[in-house]
Amino acid sequence: MSALSILAEVDQYPYRNKLADTYIRSPTSLVSVFLFWSFRQVLNSTTTITKQYAQLFAHGKYTKYMERHIKRSIDLIQKLEKDSIYNLGFSGGKDSIVLLDLTKKSGVKFEAVYSNTTIDPPGTIPFIRNNYPEVKIVNPKESFFQLVARKGLPSRQRRWCCEILKENYGVGKRNLEGMRWEESSGRSGYEPEQCDTRKKMKGACHVLPLLHWTEVQIWDYIRGNDLPYMKYYDPPYNFTRHGCVGCPLAQKQQMQLEFKTFPKYAFGLMKAIRKYQMLKPDSFWGKNFLNEYEAFYYYLHDMTLQDFKFMKSASLFENDFEKIIKKWLA
């Protein structure tokens, strides 16, 4: 397989489907898989491929390498089990799917819970019910849009949405979660067991068995064990994550892709913003933006308020934000 043909396949197919087609345990096939992955990861700049990792593929040792990886996670789950049962946070995303399967294999006592944020991609709950019926679905007292209408938009620094819609279900418990070092610089310093010191969490601890896993290995495990996963990872969507649509922690490009894919969520959010602006006209979202379209544009582009005001005053482009947003979402 030439470098040009690999690059052509990267452009034409999502790497997960290609990996599924070539997931064969012979050393020759594994070399091809590694070469494909190398180009895919270089293009996305998500993972550093080391020489040691390459040697595992070249010598056909990848299966044993994965077995050690799996054992390390299962051992951690078993080692950190206490008297109380684990609370496993299940989102329906790729990492939580692997975490659930490993926890089952570990033999520990646990309860898997999906906290319905009301803003996950459409079809998430039916997917969970049909493929992972052991997961308990918990619904909130207020939807995300109802909370926005009352509290305003969340931000990276003010993520009240996580606290209300997710973290409340883990208060005082030992929580199994699928975070990984590779995901962000912030998570790269996490320990396998993190105890929450916030008073409101009442001594909750977070056990993270997948910290050492890469995205490559996550998809290898899913494909190798024929685990069902959400359709949004594949064409025509090609999402890199599964979670709340428009999460403020997501990259700007990802947030825009999600709202563009699910315009009803965008309009629902803008409706909630308008209610909040009317309720609290002197708030940040009320006094700095003429309407919900301006506020949504600002939120969508992750810009500073100073840059937004300069853009408007300089008339760098048409300032009819309602027209701009509606045209973009059409």
pLDDT digits (tens, 9 = 90+) for 205-216: 899 999 999 999
Comparing 132-141, 259-268, 282-291, 319-328, the range with the smallest average pLDDT is: 319-328
Instruction: Note the pLDDT tens digit of each residue in 4-39.
Output: 333 333 333 333 333 333 333 333 444 444 444 444
Minimal CA–CA distance to 138: which of 169, 177, 111, 161? 169
Minimal CA–CA distance to 36: which of 54, 18, 23? 18
Residue 112 burial (CB < 10 Å; 0-12/13-18/19+)? buried
| pLDDT surpasses 60 at 52 | no
Per-domain residue ranges for the chain? 3-60, 66-215, 252-329
Map residue 330 onto helix, strand or coil: coil
Position 318 scores a pLDDT of: 62
Position 167 scores a pLDDT of: 80
High-pLDDT (> 70) share of the chain, % = 80
Instruction: Note the pLDDT tens digit of each residue in 236-253.
Output: 999 989 999 999 888 889
Position 133 scores a pLDDT of: 98
Position 317 scores a pLDDT of: 58
| pLDDT surpasses 60 at 55 | no
Contact 220, 227 (CB under 8 A): no
Rounded to an integer, what distance in angstroms lies between the CA atom of residue 277 and that of residue 292?
8
pLDDT averaged over the chain? 82
| pLDDT surpasses 80 at 311 | yes
H/E segment holding residue 88: strand 86-89
Domain 66-215: assigned CATH number: 3.40.50.620
Residue with the two structure tokens 């977070």: 206
Position 295 scores a pLDDT of: 96
Instruction: Note the pLDDT tens digit of each residue in 159-203.
Output: 899 889 988 778 878 999 998 988 877 777 788 888 887 888 777
Rounded to an integer, what distance in angstroms lies between the CA atom of residue 75 and that of residue 103?
10
The residue type at 102: L
Contact 113, 88 (CB under 8 A): yes
